[in-house]
Structure 1
């Protein structure tokens, strides 16, 4: 029990009968009991076992690095970048927040990259993410950081969704997602696209083009790359919600976390992003390490991106002065 919960119960026991506060105390206890019942989520043992096997395979992969061809390691990193863009530029900034518009060829590339990421199809990823923004750090948040680092990082995948996540999610509109034929196609053919993009292509390229063994290709370009990309993405939910400063809004949990930004190619400016979720850059524009923004800007120069949204400088400064923690 939390200190706050214990304090409430002690206060309730000390109140005099008939003073009008007993009902309030009983109501608080009932609410806490309701939350505890809601959090008794069944364990999804399949996910626990699969993640244990995946991470064991990733640890084994580390011992293969000295034996691998240099091109295989470079290829694995390139696959990691494509994987990351499928989440950051695709599922996150394009489809979840509609922070810019992308033409069909780019949407197809981002959907394929998202299948390489293997973090649920675009529709499911965006559905959970919109609920996360709407109800951040509550039981309706799929990866509620208020329940601790482990839960926010990976534990939320080990249990069935809290009923509040499902109930609150039903109240949001996701029709725009399924109106995109690229999203619908990926959702329909998701399993096949994941097998192809996440495992087959990363494994076959090193074997076919420079004679790498299928064993090394599979464990380094598929298993290790996939495991690292998952954990980097999860750090946005965990570390970036718990560690760092809050120059834009000190009243919310998300933080500015430089290390997460480096790993997640620009997604660690999280206090900014939750304050201005419509901004395609997910950070203040400038010389900041944000490869996802650089990618979107490059696509804009090629004519594949239009209508990039960003927060005006005056709006940002006013918000920092009003609600920021004065850290920058």
Structure 2
């Protein structure tokens, strides 16, 4: 038995030792493999974070370069500085305004007639204040343009000149501002082939309201902070201020910051600039030369009448219609959708700006349908991504009809519009008085 035990010990224990040794080596190898994989994973994670940081750093560098207002030699800012230098004026830089003065301005608060909006201007409009070169440049430009329009318009009127003016308004106001600058470039509500995108953006540049980057950054900021202290042209700061007074007060504009201290200049470059930096950089750098070129074109085409009506009056018409959307459409009208601001639907403005302010037909006159007059600007603020500002079948929206036509021709895609459920979710229930009036 002893021999048998020894044999069992000799023959039985050694295989057990070998098996244990094999398992130990396997566990060690497995542990090493796991550690190596973990190290590789950590390295990959660190490498990915470094790459992300590098991309973010590069992105930040790119964002700093793409300023909101271009300072190139062909920009409006450069021309304003050159104008004041020719006049020999030495003007102040934008001053740091006293925050307490802006919070408690020494001006009476008043209510706009026909509206429930309470208004209080923050700064003197013209007197007892400082001016920058941009302020003086803009004031001189608009004073001269309005003077030429008021005096030269009646003296040079002809039906042909009026037709040129209206055709230019459709080209630059509807295709350029409403379709391109507003709905496509600022809100990315649709996409189209690049040559068409460039053509529409160029039409917008001819409206003389700034280059695409400047316009879109300004408008994106407006939607982010509409009718707040950060909004550059809120009618809460004065009716005149919201229409065009904000153009002549660079110091006040520089105070428009959000709760984190950011301002509209800090917004990231818009998507179209990232996709096509060559074209939009060129358009920014040569912006003012295109304005001089179009004025010369109209003069060569039809002399002084075409210059006055095709350029001066048409530019002012386009600008004032855009400014009405900033001022009147945030004061008078109705709200049909929740938008967290004072945006309104106003059929008069919408009639003039191709649906951006809101225009519809009161079908009760035609078919006894008991509908309110549809107007679209509140619709837009409620669904800013939508290519359609007229959200009901009876709401006329000329810009959207053009976009829809491009889509049917295969030239546009990703045309965005809210779903029926989204419309219902944001619709403001009619008031009892409105129901009783029906």
Q: TM-score, normalised by structure 2?
A: 0.61
Aligned to 2:389: 282
Helix, strand or coil for the counterpart of 1:54? helix
In structure 2, distance between residues paired with 1:42 and 1:121: 27
Aligned to 1:139: 229
- 1:246/1:42 Cα in 2 relative to 1: closer, same or farther (>3 Å)? farther
- Pick aligned residue for 2:300 from 204, 226, 246: 204
In structure 2, distance between residues paired with 1:81 and 1:190: 20
1:316, CA displacement in angstroms? 0.8
Structure 1 unpaired stretches of 5+:
1-29, 208-213
* Structure 1 outlier segments of 4+, above 4 Å: 30-34, 39-42, 324-328
- 1:221/1:31 Cα in 2 relative to 1: closer, same or farther (>3 Å)? closer
Q: CA RMSD in A?
A: 2.4
1:186, CA displacement in angstroms? 1.5
1:51, CA displacement in angstroms? 1.1
Cα contact 1:246–1:325 (8 A) shared by 2: no
1:114, CA displacement in angstroms? 1.1
Aligned to 2:290: 193
- Pick aligned residue for 2:415 from 304, 308, 311: 308
Cα contact 1:202–1:221 (8 A) shared by 2: yes
Cα contact 1:79–1:202 (8 A) shared by 2: no
Kindly indicate whether structure 1 or structure 2 has the higher relative contact order, using CA contacts under 8 Å at least 6 residues apart: 1
- Pick aligned residue for 1:183 from 255, 280, 286: 280
In structure 2, distance between residues paired with 1:118 and 1:162: 22
Aligned to 1:167: 262
Aligned to 2:65: none
Aligned to 2:23: none
Helix, strand or coil for the counterpart of 2:396? coil
1:90, CA displacement in angstroms? 0.8
In structure 1, distance between residues paired with 2:425 and 2:264: 32
Larger Rg: 2
1:203, CA displacement in angstroms? 3.5
Q: TM-score, normalised by structure 1?
A: 0.80
In structure 2, distance between residues paired with 1:36 and 1:101: 45
Aligned to 1:13: none
- 1:128/1:227 Cα in 2 relative to 1: closer, same or farther (>3 Å)? same
Aligned to 2:148: 57
Structure 2 unpaired stretches of 5+:
1-97, 106-121, 124-128, 358-375
Aligned to 2:400: 293
Aligned length: 287
Aligned to 2:353: 264
1:282, CA displacement in angstroms? 2.2
Aligned to 1:16: none
Whether 1:76 and 2:165 are equivalent positions in the alignment is yes
